[in-house]
Amino acid sequence: MKRYIIKGPNNTVKGEVNISGAKNSCLPLMAASILFKNKVILKNVPFVKDVYTMKDLLISLGAKVNFSESKKMMTIINKKKHKLIVPYKLVSTMRAGVLTMGPLLGRYPQKKIKVALGGGCALGVRDTNWHLAGFKSLGAINSLDKGYVNISAKKGLVGSKYKFPKVTVTGTSNIIMAAIFTKGTHYLKNISIEPEVIDLIKFLNNSGADIKFLGKRSIKITGIKELTNGTHNIIGDRIEAFSYLCVGAITKRKLKINNINPVHLRSEISVLKKIGYKIDKKPNSIKVSTNKKLIPVNIKTGPYPNFATDNMPMLLAVLSTIQGKSQIQETIFSNRFMAAAELKRMGAKISIKKNKAIIIGQKKLNSADCISSDLRTTFSIILGAVAANGSSTISRIYHGLRGYYNLESKLRKIGVKIVSKN
């Protein structure tokens, strides 16, 4: 099992990082290919582990998927008919497997779709009740059988309306994909407007779908007959971008992040500025540097455009090194402070009370041997190790490779002293 050894403090950090396409855009776009009878071409693809898992999932449904890593491109060709069962093996390793429910139902509403329920994950219970309620609003019924949810709409899907009780990212994508060919018009309220959902809507509209915004979080989807011309350039990954901005921030070194729309990191950038970091934005890049005293902050995560829960573990690491008392309130997941225990092993002073973390920033962190437990925790620990005195070992790096493309080489290129061992 791969582990990283990082020698800190890395005051050699400098240069530029080219950000890859967004994993959380790529996965729903791949799932959306099920809705197409012809070819789908995706560009700016991040070839991370989850994307390979989604490839296996689409192949198991009957699609042909070709990857060209050198061109950052993938082509998906669908057969006339898909298999209608999504096995547990693939959904259990990647929560995003649930994203196949919507397009399978949208394309084959009168058949029985059988999708394994993913269950919980390291972040806490991750329910699909609002996905299922959204399908029900379109006329689909569901039942649970041995861990699989069976969904079908004998009379076909008919547009009506559904309001999400709370914002759900994959829930929104799923209902949009299910409703593409619906009879009539379907109205959705309180949808997720994360950049990755907007990317999916753009892709579908450019391919012939009729999805219109009625307000900030409301859309109407009018059923169409067919999707065509499925070619799309995936947006840059705002979580990967913030992760590397934090490498610059925690080392107080100048770093430039390319291939990212700064608007997608509006809240995160304003938090970095509040701490005292200097941020220079261009339409497709962000520079971070430090030229004044850094101060603690209080923040709260929330659905976009608020501070992303996925970016919180990285901020936790940065705040651990900023003297004074900071506070983070997590509002999306019940168990998102796993990085705290590992950072504490490096000398960070963090106390967790329910959904709040109180951080007393330290002048120095010291190296430690750490174990990663999920995707974003991996990067949070890397940040701790980059700032700490001495050599830290981080094991179970495979969690990080689910979502960070070329992690080790990107870190090495900007001056992080990193080696990997099996």
Q: What is the Cβ-side half-sphere exposure of residue 31, based on CA atoms within 13 angstroms?
A: 31
* Spatial contact of 389 and 1, defined as CB atoms under 8 Å apart: no
Alpha helices in 33-159 (DSSP H): 49-61, 88-93, 101-107, 129-137
Task: Give me the amino acid identity at 265.
Answer: L
Q: Residue 44: how many CB atoms within 10 A of its CB?
A: 20
Q: Is 217 in the site for ligand EPU (CB under 6 A)?
A: no
CB of 109 to ligand EPU, least distance (A): 20
Q: Is 44 in the site for ligand EPU (CB under 6 A)?
A: no
Tell me which of 7, 14, 43, 126 binds ligand EPU, using CB under 6 A.
126
CB of 144 to ligand EPU, least distance (A): 14
**Closest by CA position to 293, among listed 280, 279, 276, 316:** 276
CB of 189 to ligand EPU, least distance (A): 15
Task: Give me the amino acid identity at 328.
Answer: I
Residue with Cβ nearer ligand EPU (36 or 135): 135
Residues contacting ligand EPU: total by CB under 6 A: 23
Tell me which of 49, 131, 253, 410 binds ligand EPU, using CB under 6 A.
131
Stretch that binds ligand EPU, among 35-43, 124-132, 277-285, 390-398 (CB under 6 A): 124-132
DSSP labels for 308-346? -GGGHHHHHHHHTTSSEEEEEE--S-SS--HHHHHHHHT
Tell me which of 127, 218, 258, 287 binds ligand EPU, using CB under 6 A.
127
Sheet holding 277-282, edge to edge: 15-18, 255-258, 285-290, 277-282
Angle formed by the axes of helices 312-319 and 338-345, nearest 10°: 30
- Active site annotation includes 370: no
Residues 153-182 that bind ligand EPU (CB under 6 A): 166, 168-171
User: Two tokens at 347?
Assistant: 């000398």
Site string for ligand EPU, 92-121 (x = CB under 6 A): ---xx-------------------------
Catalytic annotation, pick one of 26, 121, 246, 370: 121
Tell me which of 199, 237, 240, 310 binds ligand EPU, using CB under 6 A.
310
Stretch that binds ligand EPU, among 39-47, 127-135, 155-163, 409-417 (CB under 6 A): 127-135
Site string for ligand EPU, 45-84 (x = CB under 6 A): ----------------------------------------
Give dist(CA 321, CA 8) in Å, integer.
14
Residue with Cβ nearer ligand EPU (345 or 376): 376
Burial of 67 (0-12, 13-18, 19+ CB in 10 A): middle
Residues 363-382 that bind ligand EPU (CB under 6 A): 375-376
**Closest by CA position to 123, among listed 169, 164, 89:** 169
Tell me which of 12, 129, 229, 351 binds ligand EPU, using CB under 6 A.
129
Give dist(CA 97, CA 188) in Å, integer.
22
Tell me which of 20, 24, 137, 142 binds ligand EPU, using CB under 6 A.
24
Please report, as ranges, the residues that interact with ligand EPU according to CB under 6 A.
Answer: 24, 27, 95-96, 125-131, 166, 168-171, 309-310, 332-333, 375-376, 403
Instruction: Give catalytic residue positions.
Output: 121
